[in-house]
Amino acid sequence: MDLDFENLSSALQLVGDAGTATGQVAKGVEIVKSLFQKTETGGDTDLKLALSELTMQVANAQVANSDLKLKMAALQDELAKMQAFQSDLERYALWETPTGAIVYRLKEDSQGAEPLHYLCPNCIEDRHKAILQGHETHRECPRCSTGYFFQKIQW
């Protein structure tokens, strides 16, 4: 199964449906409990114990469903961030500098009003976008401090 918005939304809907069903079961248990409390004898002790156990299990299921729904929502947010990062990264291509260093360079057709710039490949691996700073000879990543030579230095 691919992890995408549609699959996560479907899973989130299932979690919500399970929560609704658990809520309906809980209401049913409460109705049965109230019916037994209305009888003159108060109902059988074993039945009361079984209803209490069922009530506790329903409450535990409701808590578990709530936790699952929160975790699914967090996963959906994380997926949105990952997809936004990947979409932005598609505007770049790996490029080899004249000295043999490999960096990400903004594609010409993606440049628009942005100046030509380069990204640190080490930081991209960590899912961070860090624009290399410096000049035409040498640029450095402000995040991880890795340096890249863009021109050979003549001594």
Q: What is the pLDDT of residues 16-38, one digit of tens each?
A: 666 666 767 777 767 766 666 66
pLDDT at 43: 58
Q: Hey, what are 7's tokens?
A: 């699959």
Residues facing residue 94 across a β-bridge: 104
pLDDT at 49: 77
pLDDT at 1: 40
Q: What is the pTM of this model?
A: 0.61
pLDDT at 62: 82
Give the contacts of 133 (CB within 8 A, at least 6 positions apart): 139, 140, 141, 142
Is the distance from CB of 139 to CB of 133 less than 8 angstroms? yes
Q: Is the pLDDT of residue 8 over 80?
A: no
User: What are the residue ranges spanned by the domains of the chain?
Assistant: 5-88, 91-149
